[in-house]
Structure 1
Amino acid sequence: MLTPTLAPSALPPTGDKYAQLLARCAGLPPIPTAVAHPCDYSSLDGALEAARLGLIVPLLIGPEVRIRHVAVEHGLSLEGIRIIDVPHSHAAAARAVEAVRAGEAELLMKGSLHSDELMHAVASSTNGLRTGRRLSHVFAMDVPNYHKPLFITDAAVNIFPTLNEKADIVRNAIDLVRVLGIETPKVAILSAVETVTDKIPSTIDAAALCMMSLRGQIEGGILDGPLAFDNAISKAAADTKGIHSEVAGDPDILLVPDLEAGNMLAKQLTFLAGAEAAGIVLGARVPIILTSRADSVRARIGSCAIAVLLAHARRTAAAVPA
């Protein structure tokens, strides 16, 4: 398990949360990063900007002619940047994974290829980056009217996770948030209601996950659920319904019942509440920076900063004698 060795406390509750992330990376050496198929402006500019900020050392993998064409078209400098020429996006995904396996890179970053294409290479049983943990995605969200960073999982990888898969999803998210300095993250397990009923299977999963936490099968966080979104986020709503909980009104992590619910929730917060969302895939040998073409530059840099903190935490953990 990764522990919060990089920072003594959580991100402050106010201010520019992404700027705070960058400040926490200050002084850390940049991490070698395999960038798979950065063949459009946003993905190439995001990788180069992360390099300029000292977060990563990019290894660009894709059709070199296309990468250089994008750079020339948009006035981006590739001076000093290593490029590995491969013919297409499928080959770029495979070669990027190979770069991680070979020790050329400690992070993997999605370029302009489809997420499924990259994750297929990552999940390969023969040449991928799987571990004993389930792969899962976390949105690290800066929501303007919420008092601290909010992490939503899983909204991009696991479509209808089983109970055991949800347990791994929670473990991954807890490990991430602990690295960011929140020693005991609070996890709200979402459903449509706050009572357990066999008519809504996610409420049964929520109750089981809470018991798994009490029995030490899930460590490092405080879990509560099922909770509807209102009483998960609002202490007043929880009090009105007579819910007494350490988590209600103050969660760090929202565990959603399935990908559809999580994806809609994250995008509603982004497009209606003005939130910004960084995206990271966990459970692989290395953190995976999984961004969308619609992501802002700030969101891309936020994703890189989180991945860099994770990579340095892994370096620290590996250096500690067993």
Structure 2
Amino acid sequence: METFENVPWDRLEIGMEAEARRTIRADDLYVFANSSGNLNPLHLPREDGDGDGAPEAVAPSMWIGALISAVLGNSLPGPGTLYRRQDLRYTGRAHAGDEVVARVRLVEKGAGRMARFETWVTKADGTGIAKGEAEVTAPEHPAQFRAVDVPGLTVRRHALFDALLERAAPLPPIPTAVIAPEGPASLGGALLGADHTLITPILIGDAAKIAAAAAEIGRDIGGFELIHEPDHAAASLAATRLAADGRAKAVMKGKLHTSHVLKAVLGNLRTSRRLSHVFVMDVPGRDRLMFITDAAINITPDLETKLDITRNAIDLAHALGIEIPKVGILSALETVNPKIPSTIDAAALSKMADRGQIEGALVDGPLAMDNAIDEAAAKTKGIKSLVAGQADVLVVPNMEAGNMLAKELTFVAHAEAGGIVIGASCPVILTSRADDDKARLASCAVAALYAAHRGKPL
């Protein structure tokens, strides 16, 4: 933690200088927008504020000015300084990604501990952005400040899912059999995937209900194939038959019970692998995607089932661009305990990976949640592992644990969660009524990337 030390009034000398460097992050602009209330789209990284077809991400002028405040408050004079006035003239612009330098130089000392500074901000190459003068009341006594208790900020922006959508954008849309899209959310999710050219929906269900849902959300579905089948079990069978025949490359759940979908998938799209669901999660504060499996299908998986669950998740991680995913097999603790069966399964899976029975990933377990994702926690526990503290994939001991973990991350940590069912001959998108548009769109992108990666049945 950095310590800031001031230069009190009696030690200030004309000509003293200080500076601070900072690279402008997109998150800085979102934080400023929220704290200031200035929502000018020219300053928001993903918005096109002037209609030229590209986002500008211009750093707000007052944010630039605040960098001068940081130099005065942290360095010269430092802790205990109070502003009297600041004059600024802007001569250029900075954008997200630019490195900028704020500088101050003391030019005058006056009555009442007044200190006047020349101030300016430039880009790292010297290009001017702003210049002016500041007057402050300098601190009277020496002081230090260690910013231990200043809270950090986590920006609820799902840049990882945005990158996922960009990765999927060049792919041709995959024909997707959408089962019973008979509500605004389920139909809207499928059409959203179509709008982003991720999927081409084939709508299967009660035609009247689908039309009513389309009217409710104000969408024309005349351009999409619609197969009238009011019975949900029959609609599920029809959808999986389309996939088995190659007319569809994915299946998507609409407004119906998951059991209907899975029964049909097992009947028509079964492979040598067990079915399992993988949540792909964009968790604020993390710099990479988190995969959680299985939280939706296998209730109390045995070792053989967990082997397939692990392999399925590795396949999906590969499809999403992770060359060597790190897989943590979770339990309540990180040591093997015969009284906790999940620790034995985790140790077995880890050894199977060592012996080449699980390929394409680094696998370790048992690991507790903390030491699976937090390097400091792993170090504190003395765990020496290439996975501990860095896990991409979390294999949970049972469906209850996985479901609670995924929902806690979604509703408490504000994560976005997409995901698909793997182990069938095509990806199966299981949407939830609680999913928002971003989650539904991410699931479509995951399915498109997985279908493109595999290219053929398991």
Is the TM-score greater than 0.5? yes
Question: Whose helix fraction is larger, Structure 1's or Structure 2's?
Answer: 1
What does residue 343 of structure 2 align with?
203
Tell me how far 1:205 sits from its aligned partner: 0.3
Pick the aligned partner of 1:102 from 245, 252, 274. Answer: 245
Determine the C-alpha separation between the residues in 2 that align with 1:146 and 1:313.
25
Counterpart AA for 1:61: I
Pick the aligned partner of 2:218 from 75, 78, 86. Answer: 75
What does residue 298 of structure 2 align with?
158
Counterpart AA for 1:301: L
Please give the residue correspondences for 1:57-206 in structure 2 after superposition, counting only pairs within 5 Å: 57-124=200-267, 128-206=268-346
Determine the C-alpha separation between the residues in 2 that align with 1:215 and 1:206.
14
Determine the C-alpha separation between the residues in 2 that align with 1:74 and 1:36.
18
Counterpart AA for 1:265: L
- Classify the secondary structure of the residue corresponding to 2:370: helix
Question: Whose strand fraction is larger, Structure 1's or Structure 2's?
Answer: 2
Determine the C-alpha separation between the residues in 2 that align with 1:238 and 1:198.
22
- Classify the secondary structure of the residue corresponding to 2:352: helix
Determine the C-alpha separation between the residues in 2 that align with 1:199 and 1:43.
44
Tell me how far 1:79 sits from its aligned partner: 2.5
Per-residue Cα deviation, 1:165-209 (whole angstroms, up to 9, x for no partner): 100000000011011111110001100011101100000000000
Determine the C-alpha separation between the residues in 2 that align with 1:299 and 1:87.
27
- Per mean C-alpha deviation after superposition, the further-off stretch among 24-33 and 164-173 is 24-33
Tell me how far 1:15 sits from its aligned partner: 6.0
What does residue 270 of structure 1 align with?
410
Tell me how far 1:73 sits from its aligned partner: 2.2
What does residue 44 of structure 1 align with?
187
What does residue 176 of structure 2 align with?
33
- Classify the secondary structure of the residue corresponding to 1:123: helix
Per-residue Cα deviation, 1:273-320 (whole angstroms, up to 9, x for no partner): 0001002000000000111011011000000001001111223x68xx
Contact 2:182–2:210 at 8 Å: present in 1 too? Answer: yes
Pick the aligned partner of 2:159 from 2, 12, 16. Answer: 16
Contact 2:169–2:196 at 8 Å: present in 1 too? Answer: no
What does residue 363 of structure 2 align with?
223
What does residue 7 of structure 1 align with?
none
- Classify the secondary structure of the residue corresponding to 2:222: coil
Per-residue Cα deviation, 1:111-166 (whole angstroms, up to 9, x for no partner): 01111111111112xxx211000100000000002221000000000000010110
Determine the C-alpha separation between the residues in 1 that align with 2:284 and 2:230.
42
Tell me how far 1:246 sits from its aligned partner: 1.0
Q: Is 1:247 equivalent to 2:387 in the alignment?
A: yes
- Per mean C-alpha deviation after superposition, the further-off stretch among 22-31 and 186-195 is 22-31
- Classify the secondary structure of the residue corresponding to 1:32: strand
- Structure of larger gyration radius: 2
Pick the aligned partner of 2:435 from 286, 295, 303. Answer: 295
Determine the C-alpha separation between the residues in 1 that align with 2:310 and 2:371.
20
- Classify the secondary structure of the residue corresponding to 1:138: strand
Unaligned stretches of 5+ in structure 1? 1-13
Counterpart AA for 1:67: I
Tell me how far 1:107 sits from its aligned partner: 0.5
- Classify the secondary structure of the residue corresponding to 1:223: strand
What does residue 307 of structure 1 align with?
447
Q: Which structure's relative contact order is higher, taking Cα pairs within 8 Å and 6+ residues apart?
A: 1
Determine the C-alpha separation between the residues in 1 that align with 2:172 and 2:215.
28
Identity of aligned residues (%): 56
Counterpart AA for 1:298: K
Determine the C-alpha separation between the residues in 2 that align with 1:173 and 1:264.
18
Tell me how far 1:74 sits from its aligned partner: 2.2
Tell me how far 1:27 sits from its aligned partner: 2.0
Determine the C-alpha separation between the residues in 2 that align with 1:313 and 1:178.
8
Determine the C-alpha separation between the residues in 2 that align with 1:34 and 1:203.
39
| Aligned CA-pair RMSD | 1.2
TM-score (norm. length: structure 1): 0.91
Determine the C-alpha separation between the residues in 2 that align with 1:87 and 1:148.
42
Tell me how far 1:77 sits from its aligned partner: 1.3
- Classify the secondary structure of the residue corresponding to 1:68: helix
Equivalent residues, number? 301
Pick the aligned partner of 1:281 from 400, 410, 421. Answer: 421
Determine the C-alpha separation between the residues in 2 that align with 1:86 and 1:106.
20
TM-score (norm. length: structure 2): 0.65
Determine the C-alpha separation between the residues in 1 that align with 2:280 and 2:183.
24
Tell me how far 1:98 sits from its aligned partner: 1.1
| Aligned structure 1 segments of 4 or more residues deviating by more than 2 angstroms | none
Tell me how far 1:39 sits from its aligned partner: 0.4
- Per mean C-alpha deviation after superposition, the further-off stretch among 287-296 and 73-82 is 73-82
